[in-house]
Amino acid sequence: MNSLFTQTHVGPYAISHRVVMAPLTRMRTNAHNVPGDLMVDYYAQRASSGGLLISDATSVSPLGFAYVGAPGLYTEAQAFGWRRVTDAVHAKGGRIFLQLWHAGRQAHPANIGGEMPVAPSAVRAYEHSAIHGQNGQVIEVEQVLPRALAIEEIPGVIEEFRHAAALAKQAGFDGVELHAANGYLPDQFLQDGSNHRTDAYGGSLENRARFLFEVLDAIGSVWPASQIAVRLSPGSSYGTMSDSDPHATFSYVARRLNGYGLAYLHVVEPRVRGNDDIDAAASAISAKDLRRVFKGTIIAAGGFTAESAHRIIEAGDADLVAFGRLFISNPDLPERLHVGAPLAHYDRSTFYGGDSRGYTDYAFHRTAAVT
Ligand SMILES: Cc1cc2nc3c(=O)[nH]c(=O)nc-3n(C[C@H](O)[C@H](O)[C@H](O)COP(=O)(O)O)c2cc1C
């Protein structure tokens, strides 16, 4: 499995192994969507010398929350909370990128002060948001019909991404990853199943991609391109996403991204839908397809084992591999993969919300071995 444990670079950073922690929404912030001690411990546990972590999806806007307890990054208090996380990761010699997120139509009124969620078009998604129930417990509820953003409102949303990116710098992140996957706002603009606009942000491929590239340009006014990344899930229907020609749409985006000099392009494989394994159609678009178009660093994610991660790197279809569910239950995943130690199983019931159980209480291999 040696290809996972060779050196590489992500933007300006020397990276000592290729086992990346995928972005994972765990819904464990303190009040006001501020990361607290529990999150500091969780990220510190998963940091490794020269290893790369990607943060929980972090809302750039008070209107961006699909899930109660998810982190934000639009206030000074949130930046301060995140600073403690990045300090803890850096103390272990690790690197961490912030995932910039706006849920768009997947947001829920209960999480955004009773407002209507915003989207490119008034087309709803049939997924679930997580909100607080009457007794304060987390419950899942159906998403609602969003309202279409007026064209005059779009620059304000783009400014929210820029502002969060600036706060990410203040919070000590090593870079930012734009969440343009899993049916959230930039993805909603991009794919024609959710974008029915007839103005400059809808219709042609160029128009549908406009929001994503304008957001990137705004982030680029704060960060060098080599510290900016983009996540796409081209073969996924999560978020009720669909496109009449995904190969054309995502190849177009990947081709244009070549001009940016990004830190990396992060591609979710079609065999995963959100957080679940599915049987993907053979024609579904994958990292391998985008590799033919995109010339920079690629991180592939979705259903990887140590062996398949090794294979995709050997084949040259990705440069690094991000692990999600296995990183939840194995805080020392890079080391376990390196030494071939057994992997602990994850408990789905503690994925979202709650306390340290299923969050910071998974054993380390070395500790587990002596107890
Ligand atoms: C609990 C959980 C939360 C997730 N949250 C996010 C997220 O915040 N942002 C994101 O892009 N993907 C998110 N995902 C998807 C993962 O990043 C990853 O793509 C997916 O789990 C497939 O990788 P795996 O098979 O290694 O778990 C989440 C997945 C899980 C299991």
At 214 the pLDDT is 98
DSSP-derived letter for residue 355 is S
Ligand 1: residue whose CA is nearest its atom 10: 23
Assigned token pair, 290 = 């985008």
At 317 the pLDDT is 97
Burial class (CB in 10 A: 0-12, 13-18, 19+), 38: middle
**With 90 as the cut, is the pLDDT of residue 181 above it?**
yes
Report whether residue 15 contacts ligand 1, using a CB cutoff of 6 Å: no
How much distance in Å is there from the Cα of 136 to the middle of ligand 1?
25
Q: Of 192, 199, 266, nearest to 233 (Cα)?
A: 266
- Report the first-to-last Cα separation within the chain, whole angstroms: 27
At 282 the pLDDT is 86
**With 90 as the cut, is the pLDDT of residue 370 above it?**
no
DSSP-derived letter for residue 5 is G
What is d(CA 241, CA 192) in angstroms, rounded to the nearest whole number? 9
What is d(CA 324, CA 231) in angstroms, rounded to the nearest whole number? 14
Assigned token pair, 3 = 């290809």
Report whether residue 302 contacts ligand 1, using a CB cutoff of 6 Å: yes
At 368 the pLDDT is 56
**Residue 192 forms beta bridges with which residues?**
none
Pick the atom of ligand 1 nearest to 57's CA.
Answer: 8
DSSP-derived letter for residue 201 is T
Q: Of 165, 205, 209, nearest to 187 (Cα)?
A: 209
Report whether residue 268 contacts ligand 1, using a CB cutoff of 6 Å: yes
Alpha-carbon torsion, ordered 29, 33, 34, 39, to 10 deg:
20
Assigned token pair, 247 = 């190969």
Mean pLDDT of the 206-222 span? 98
Report whether residue 325 contacts ligand 1, using a CB cutoff of 6 Å: yes
Mean pLDDT of the 3-21 span? 97
Ligand 1: residue whose CA is nearest its atom 7: 24
Please give the full DSSP string across 239-297, using - where no structure is assigned. Answer: TT---S-HHHHHHHHHHHHTTT--SEEEEE-TTEETTEE----TTS--HHHHHTT--S-
Active-site residues, by number, are: 184
What value does the mean pLDDT of the chain take?
96
At 1 the pLDDT is 56
Helix (H) or strand (E) holding 299: strand 298-301
Report whether residue 303 contacts ligand 1, using a CB cutoff of 6 Å: yes
**With 90 as the cut, is the pLDDT of residue 371 above it?**
no
Report whether residue 308 contacts ligand 1, using a CB cutoff of 6 Å: no
| Amino acid occupying residue 132 | H
At 136 the pLDDT is 87
Structural domain spans, the chain: 2-370
State pLDDT tens for residues 74-96.
999 999 999 999 999 999 999 99
Residue written as tokens 């669909």? 242
Ligand 1: residue whose CA is nearest its atom 11: 23
Assigned token pair, 243 = 């496109």
Mean pLDDT of the 16-35 span? 98
Cα-to-chain-centroid distance, residue 50: 20
Q: Of 292, 194, 186, nearest to 237 (Cα)?
A: 194
Mean pLDDT of the 162-178 span? 99
CATH superfamily for 2-370 is Aldolase class I (3.20.20.70)
Mutate which of 18, 24, 272 for ligand 1? The one with the most ligand atoms within 8 Å of its CB, which is 24
The percentage of residues in the chain with a pLDDT greater than 70, rounded to a whole number, is 98
What is d(CA 254, CA 213) in angstroms, rounded to the nearest whole number? 11
Mean pLDDT of the 33-48 span? 98
Pick the atom of ligand 1 nearest to 272's CA.
Answer: 22
What is d(CA 247, CA 251) in angstroms, rounded to the nearest whole number? 6
State pLDDT tens for residues 327-343.
999 999 999 999 999 99
**With 90 as the cut, is the pLDDT of residue 366 above it?**
no
Please give the full DSSP string across 94-153, using - where no structure is assigned. Answer: -EEEEEEE--GGG--GGGTTTPPPEESSS----SEEEEE-TTS-EEEEE----EEPPGGG
Pick the atom of ligand 1 nearest to 56's CA.
Answer: 8
Pick the atom of ligand 1 nearest to 352's CA.
Answer: 1
Helix (H) or strand (E) holding 139: strand 138-142
Contact of 26 with 43, CB cutoff 8 Å: no
What is d(CA 200, CA 180) in angstroms, rounded to the nearest whole number? 19
**With 50 as the cut, is the pLDDT of residue 101 above it?**
yes
- How many other C-beta atoms can be found within 10 angstroms of the C-beta atom of residue 279? 8
What is d(CA 147, CA 150) in angstroms, rounded to the nearest whole number? 9
